[in-house]
Amino acid sequence: MAEFRINRTRAIVLLALASVFLITLDISGGGTSIVRSTFGTFFRPVEGVTRVVTRPIVNAWRSFREFDDVVSENQLLQERIAQQEGAAVAAAASVRLSQELLALNGLPTLAGINSVTAQVIGDSPSNISQTIEINQGSDAGLKVGMPVLNAAGLVGKVTEVSANRALVMLLTDPDYALSVKVIAEPSRRATTVTSLPTENRVTPDEDLTAPSATTTTTSTTTTIPSIPGFTPASTTVPVLPSPNAQITVPNASQLAVRETGVLQGRGPGKRPYVRFLEALPSGENIQVGAPIVSSGGSRSLAPPDIVIGVVSRVVERSGTAGPVLEVELVADLSNLSFLRVLLYQPITETQR
Amino acid sequence: MSRVLQIAASPWTRLVLVTILVLSLQTTLFAELRPFGTSIQIVGIFVGAIGVMHGLQSGALAGLACGLMYDFVLATPLGLGALVLGVVGVTAAALLLPFRESTWWMRAGAVALAAGIGEVVWPLMSAVVGLDGWLTPRLFVSAASSLVGGLVLAWPLLPVAAWTLREAQGSN
């Protein structure tokens, strides 16, 4: 009996030391992912069966807790759909135009990045991590670090991958940080000029295609030259304004200003912050409602111009420290169902 | 061959198998049922139940083993959960040490209290290893949630915990 006790004490000490060693190894970026994926191989089938068995209980709980919310949310959504149907058509045209301009200038766009659609199959089992589990993994080409979006905007990044499962760290996790751009609205002063005579007027066709294409009275189809990684469809340039119309030309100094900062999660129930390393140049004023998008760049965790949210509060700090922006995310992280994983692995994550 | 069978029949093998089942409940059912936005830690409650039923050493050992398995499915650093659940197992057993004989409600209370303490220890340990942002007042909501959940779930889990390591107790 005494021998058994000694062995057990030794086992406790050994396991405790092993835990400390594993923590050190994991935090320093050691290869612990293989241990997790091996355990996952045995654990996932059991988890799958348990999920099926417990689904009626989960559904009953949800119908009990969320019925009223679903009804009111449904009414609200119907109202919003009606409001946004018209705006969506105009927005889609703007997005397409923007993508074409980016492609024409050889700049990267989201349209050129392949993606995988995944379904959320589980929430975080722990109270100290903001993760969700999705039903796609390395078999579908997922790798650690890939950005995850839903229909509204950025949701998070892939942190663990097994064959057909992956863990996604949400934007609100305190460990999540991403370089972002805040598009500050300039003051709306603009120069208004009367349009030039018809013979001198520059048409969009002249800007986008050969100078010979100068049709001004009907819609014109424009085909964009082939650019690697991006193949836009034919688009229709709208009819030009009448000869007597006025053209509003914003001053160059009054175009939208893009300020780069770092977005960081702050845990559940708290909106993420964007911090700037230093005070913004004088005259630049970030207003509540300014959109925030990913900044991109060779070492960024996400490609550029993924919508993240809008500024909900600007907190000024004393001294040379720049302001801190509180961000209202466009993606509703409490209600995720189908997600899109961009098959874009950042350089900083390629070794994982 | 007999050695293999002996290992397969050992209570510690049984502990691993039962833990996988408990863990699957944690990642499915209890990840979805979130009273007040928090997840009840059934793994912590199970470890607490083992500590109460089998004593300090078994509680610590089971906590370390279950915690390590829990770490495999979490995104937190490997080994963190092992240390936390080791503390939970020891705490649950230690809470009953002053009493010569414990009643059913004392055992349930000790399990619940240990599970609640575990929810406070976890963010503390996270902060120690450099994971900031979890030491917020919300951890008391998580602790309260696990405490109440522990009072309810201790009923079915105490007999399961007693059965899981029964032979080990006999050979002690």
Among A9, A17, A19, A121, the strongest candidate for a mutation testing the B interface, having the largest count of B CBs within 10 A, is: A19
Does residue A88 share a domain with residue A221?
A: no
In sign, the C-alpha dihedral spanning B30, B36, B41, B45 is: negative
Does residue A324 share a domain with residue A275?
A: yes
A167 touches chain B (CB under 8 A): yes
**Residue A99 counted as domain residue:** yes
Q: Last residue of some domain: A62, A89, A107?
A: A107
Q: Last residue of some domain: A88, A107, A126?
A: A107
Does residue A282 share a domain with residue A214?
A: no
Does residue A257 share a domain with residue A239?
A: no
Q: Mind listing the pLDDT tens digit for each residue in A291-349?
A: 888 887 777 778 888 888 888 888 877 766 678 889 988 888 888 888 999 988 777 66
Burial class (CB in 10 A: 0-12, 13-18, 19+), B14: middle
Does residue A266 share a domain with residue A182?
A: yes
DSSP-derived 3-state class of residue A5: helix
Domains assigned to chain B: 11-171 (1.10.1760)
Does residue A306 share a domain with residue A266?
A: yes
A9, B79: Cβ pair inside 8 Å? no
Residue A203 DSSP label: P
Size of interface A-B (CB pairs under 8 A): 165
Does residue A308 share a domain with residue A182?
A: yes
Q: Please state the pTM of the whole predicted model.
A: 0.64
**Residue A236 counted as domain residue:** yes
**Residue A66 counted as domain residue:** yes
**Residue A147 counted as domain residue:** no
Q: How many domains does chain A have?
A: 3
B134, A267: Cβ pair inside 8 Å? yes
Q: Last residue of some domain: A107, A141, A169?
A: A107
Question: How far is it, in rounded angstroms, from Cα B68 to Cα A22?
Answer: 10
ipTM over 0.85: no
- For residue A75, the distance in angstroms to the closest alpha carbon of chain B comes to 24
Any idea what the CATH number is for the domain that residue A309 is in? Answer: 2.40.10.350
Does residue A273 share a domain with residue A182?
A: yes
**Residue A102 counted as domain residue:** yes
Average pLDDT, chain A: 74
Direct distance between the N- and C-terminal alpha carbons of chain B, in angstroms, rounded to an integer:
25
Single-letter code of the amino acid located at A347: I
Out of A4, A51, A128, the one facing B172 most closely (by C-beta) is: A4
Q: Are A271 and A198 in contact (CB under 8 A)?
A: no
Beta strands in chain A (DSSP E): 115-123, 131-134, 147-149, 154-161, 166-170, 177-184, 190-194, 220-222, 235-237, 246-250, 257-264, 273-275, 291-294, 307-315, 324-329, 338-342
Q: Mind listing the pLDDT tens digit for each residue in B73-108?
A: 888 888 899 999 999 999 999 999 888 888 889 999
Domain boundaries, position A70: 34-107
**Residue A213 counted as domain residue:** yes
Listed by number, the residues of chain A in 35-74 with a beta carbon closer than 8 Å to a beta carbon of chain B are: 35-36, 39-40, 42-43, 46-47, 49-51, 54, 57-58, 61-62
A12, B119: Cβ pair inside 8 Å? no
Does residue A182 share a domain with residue A311?
A: yes
- Name every chain A residue with its beta carbon within 8 A of the beta carbon of B28: 47, 50-51, 54, 58, 122
Residue B37's pLDDT is: 84
